Structure 1
């Protein structure tokens, strides 16, 4: 059995050179005696090191070698660190950084003692589903869905942590294909008159979509909740100072949730309202009255087909919206005053025929009471003249540059405006008739917020729409055609007295201002450019491949330290494997026989100071006898003398002692590997291939593993 000091290559690194004084003494002796003393020193020092190392477990020695700082500080590991930082930035930090720039205090201009209500509008998340990209192959489709959900989740988590709004309103289009998924009850097939209206690229998939029913829709509903509802109280459930509480309202439907106009199917709308709430509602929030209107159902009134069932809920809502507003405001005022406002009926008995129902008790305080500023919410934007510019914050096309001397925007500006067009299941703006009716019926509309367009647009309407300022909110999803998604922040501060009159004071503090004084401030908060993040990843992939390939090419040229371990022969079989091995063993046997004779002669003169010859260190039973082989074909597992071993420790390849500080690293750098105890040089192409493949693989698998971890945990 081979001695333990030959079992690992690492122990050869620990040879030490004799002290300089002893070296000079040895050099002055006769050559034969000097060689024997040198060999004895080598063997004794090697045995001492091997004895010390034998006390350390082999696995620990291997671990310390592999994790030595000199092995860790190299280009592949540096690239791994760069990739780790880039992935953390692109998958986590960039979202927090983007939203941090939108903190309320950075843009609010209220007095110091103000306690504004903080509200956020989220538009068109449109969760990706089989309706979104029906022809896209499965891996790419799943990749898009995963990254879209992660993008929404990370943006929403950062929003809750950094902004912690008191109220969040969704402006419709929660799902992308919600209108297509069948319900458990009721007919959801397209009517006869709608045949042929679908686009050609969508018509081919209608039959396959029929298999998606209530179970699938409920999974999508749960998916929406895992993104938005789950993290609602991430930063706590308490609202801001002097606010009643926190609300998340997602009941406003969009055309991708229900359909548009006469194409809406009643069972699908009933399902949506069952889980998200009534699409038409009135809320008093931050001393403002919010009126949400199901405008996609309202648009069915202009259809030539029978739509009474579709428009009935929104028509009834609009007919009673003034009463609902007054009731909501009266309830809010009584709450702020600490009073309980409930309906009380007189206790008396009357005949049904003679009963008076004209003075039936009601919570409606009646006309002429104080009214809070009204904010209208609709998924579809209101009508505007063709070419009405949307302003400089629109991403698709910035405003056209006006001619020299003109200070007002160019009108019309077709590229910067919302197109007045429509198609199957969509219409970019409401009709002029519906828009005017909606604003006049709701009454006192000062601000309008809408979605649907996916990009930002801010305009001031004409007088027939109460000169209301409308902001169309950007989609918060990166898959909706905008490079930089976003959301809208609304800060509201409207202090009122017991009767509901505004007591908002001017900045100078003199007197109360009229109701026309602004009680809201808005801010567009932009989210990261996901496509730009992917482009950065791709650029770093190309840069990493180039850097590792260039380093691999330079390794044999500049004798750089190897990243990949040189190949080692682990086969210790007795039989030679190639003709070259047989020839080499025959030459070794002749050389060892000569050394053995010299050693025997010298031992008589030096009283056994010389080490044993190679013949004396062979097995007790000759392998040649056991296998019927000549001694020239036997491969020994014991090491030759130190004087014949190439490049051990601090010794050079000629067996003499040198001054190299790290010969093992140089051996690797020059392409040598210890195979059978002899130095063999690898070809430069093999060195380049091994270095490139090993280093690229190391960077790739660590990077992919970190990326999958970050993607899996959102």
Structure 2
């Protein structure tokens, strides 16, 4: 019985710590070329949003609880990132802001410490473009020049233009800074907008913004949204803003003229269509799900973008439900205890009945010792069940540590 449970636990742990991550990526290949004319290799871009590396500013947690939260959040993203990059091998990666949860709060030494965690999760083996989010530098007039400059010194310009294959163009606009009133903070984003507005458009353009663009109130995000709230509403608060204002959104769309828009910040998937230039042009916006298990959604995700000869082709991908994995482990632990208890109590009952059958005065034994027999039966069963659990754990727990450290 113990050997069977050991193998069951090894199998379930292997599934929960490795196979579900691999299968999640395997089930989401690069989108197919739009037509058979795409004979050359396309350029492939991986889009990651809101990793928000969990830290002391994330939750009201301290000590061991904070350490466990940080550990499992980092492990989930590191494991997901490794599976995605190894299987998909993107040419570029874009992280659409909110790199750290408390990035804007840390002093320089604390920021350096969190950078170590960030780069341990997201290695720099593939060319990566980093965007700023409100958790990185703040928003509106909450942006401090030193924090903004520190982010740019570490991650590079937060607004930029990049060429993709087949004359397509990727435009990154730091919409977070556009909410600020200081010219020194807004100027880089405005300069990129002016540059792209005066550049002849050849292929398609894709716009990257951390804050989603404005849409009418209660505009549906489509059926693939995870949260019960089916739309992104406009809201303001301390260092956050859910949507860009209407006028700024229209100005960005008219200057960039994108076919596709990708945004972050909301943590859940959303798909909406924008009209601009007096409704003559359309842009399809995808809000990329958070990459983290710790940001309020059960189903994290990412997106793929393929630049083909004919067009830019997006693909939504989902990551495993980590809470569901933990629930599966808890359910298996309960089943292990219950079935082990039932197995032992059944075995002891059978043995005692066999012994009683050998006695001549069975009725007398039952009358005198029935209470003691029941008590000793339960006690013996509990001891045997605990012994089984210990023997299973002696194999399952080291294997779990192996999975955490090496898979």
Query: So what's the TM-score if we normalise by structure 2?
Result: 0.88
Partner of 2:401: 708
Q: Do the aligned partners of residues 684 and 395 (structure 1) sit closer, same or farther apart at CA in structure 2, a change above 3 Å counting?
A: closer
1:288 to 164, 168, 171: 168
The count of aligned residue pairs is 380
Equivalent position of 1:430 in the other structure = 244
- Change over 3 Å in CA distance of 1:520–1:684 after alignment to 2: same
Instruction: Kindly report which structure 2 residues correspond to 1:547-626, keeping only aligned pairs within 5 A, or say none.
Output: 547-559=339-351
SS in 2 for 1:482: coil
Indicate the residue corresponding to 1:223 in structure 2.
117
Q: Is the 8 A contact 1:487 1:526 kept in 2?
A: yes
Match of 1:179 in 2: 104
Post-superposition offset of 1:170: 0.8
Q: Label 1:395 to 1:686 Cα distance change in 2 as closer, same or farther (>3 A).
A: closer
Aligned mate of 2:39, from 108, 113, 124 = 113
Residue 377 and residue 421 in structure 1: after superposition, are their counterparts in 2 closer, same or farther (change >3 A)?
Answer: same
Q: Give me the whole-angstrom Cα distance separating, in 1, the residues matched to 2:22 and 2:71.
A: 20
Q: Distance in 2 between matches of 1:542 and 1:687?
A: 19
Residue deviations 1:685-706 (CA, integer Å, cap 9, x gap) = 5643442221121112322222
Aligned partners of 2:33, 2:295: CA distance in 1, in Å?
29
Residue 227 of structure 2 corresponds to residue 396 of structure 1 = yes
Name the CA distance, whole Å, in 2 between partners of 1:424 and 1:291: 28
Displacement, 1:119? 1.4
Shift of 1:218: 1.2
Question: What is the match of residue 243 of structure 1?
Answer: none
Distance 1:300-1:78 versus aligned 2 partners, 3 A rule: same
Higher relative contact order structure (alpha carbons within 8 Å, sequence separation ≥ 6):
2
Which residue in the other structure is 1:372 paired with? 203
- Once the two structures are TM-superposed, the CA of residue 225 in structure 1 deviates from its matched residue by 1.2
Matching residue of 2:154? 275
Q: Is the 8 A contact 2:134 2:239 kept in 1?
A: yes
Match of residue 539 from structure 1? 331
CA RMSD, Structure 1 to Structure 2 (Å): 2.0
Query: Could you tell me which residue of structure 2 aligns to residue 87 of structure 1?
Result: 13
Structure 1 unaligned residues grouped into runs of 5+: 1-74, 183-213, 233-245, 302-306, 327-368, 398-414, 495-503, 505-518, 561-682
**Separation in structure 1 between the aligned mates of residue 400 and residue 78 of structure 2, nearest angstrom:** 16
The match for 1:163 is: 88
Q: 1:150 to 1:485 in 2, by over 3 A?
A: same
* Structure-to-structure mapping, 1:484-503, within 5 angstroms: 484-494=299-309
Partners of 1:473 and 1:487 within 8 A in 2: yes
SS of aligned partner of 1:553: helix
| SS of alignment partner, residue 180 of structure 2 | helix
Output aligned runs, 1:306-455, within 5 Å.
Answer: 307-322=182-197, 326=199, 371-397=202-228, 415-442=229-256, 444-455=257-268
Give the TM-score, by structure 1 length. Answer: 0.51
- How far apart, in 2, do the equivalents of 1:113 and 1:372 lie? 17
More strand by proportion, 1 or 2?
A: 2
2:128 to 232, 238, 248: 248
Matched, 1:471 2:286: yes
The equivalent position to 1:695 in structure 2, one of 388, 391, 396, is 388
**Is the 1:262–1:310 Cα contact (8 Å) retained in structure 2?**
no
Match of 2:361 in 1: none
Q: For residues 19 and 92 of structure 2, what CA distance do their matches in structure 1 show?
A: 25
User: Relative to total residues, which structure has the larger helix share, 1 or 2?
Assistant: 2
**Could you say if the C-alpha distance between residues 388 and 687 of structure 1 is closer, same or farther in structure 2, counting changes exceeding 3 Å?**
closer
SS in 1 for 2:252: helix
- The superposition leaves residues 312-345 of structure 1 with CA deviations (integer Å, 9 ceiling, x where unpaired) of 333333334445xx4xxxxxxxxxxxxxxxxxxx
Given the superposition, is the C-alpha separation of residues 697 and 534 from structure 1 closer, same or farther in structure 2, using an over 3 Å criterion?
Answer: same
CA contact (8 A) 1:386 1:419 kept: yes
Q: Please say if residues 254 and 452 of structure 1, whose CA atoms lie closer than 8 Å, have aligned partners that are also in contact.
A: yes
Alpha-carbon deviation of 1:684? 4.4
Cα deviations by residue, 1:635-693 (Å, 9 ceiling, x for unpaired) = xxxxxxxxxxxxxxxxxxxxxxxxxxxxxxxxxxxxxxxxxxxxxxxx64564344222
1:663 match: none
Could you say what secondary structure the match of 2:282 adopts?
Answer: coil
CA distance in 2: counterparts of 1:420 and 1:312, whole angstroms: 25
Q: How far does the alpha carbon of each residue in 1:250-302 deviate from its partner, in whole angstroms, 9 at most, with x for none?
A: 2x10000000110001111111111110001110012311111111110113x
Counterpart selection for 2:50 from 124, 140, 151: 124
Instruction: Tell me the distance in 1 between the aligned counterparts of 2:118 and 2:350.
Output: 57
Structure-1 residue corresponding to 2:369: none
CA contact (8 A) 2:162 2:170 kept: yes
Consecutive aligned runs of 4 or more in structure 1 exceeding 6 Å deviation: none
Classify 1:371/1:686 alpha carbon distance in 2 versus 1 (closer, same or farther; 3 Å): closer
Q: Which residue of 1 aligns with 2:362?
A: none
SS in 2 for 1:479: coil
Say which one has the larger Rg.
Answer: 1
For 1:393 and 1:687, the matched residues in 2 are separated by: 52
- Are the counterparts in 2 of residues 555 and 688 from structure 1 also a CA contact under 8 Å? no
Distance 1:686 1:417 in 2: 56
1:2-59 C-alpha deviation (Å, 9 max, x unpaired): xxxxxxxxxxxxxxxxxxxxxxxxxxxxxxxxxxxxxxxxxxxxxxxxxxxxxxxxxx
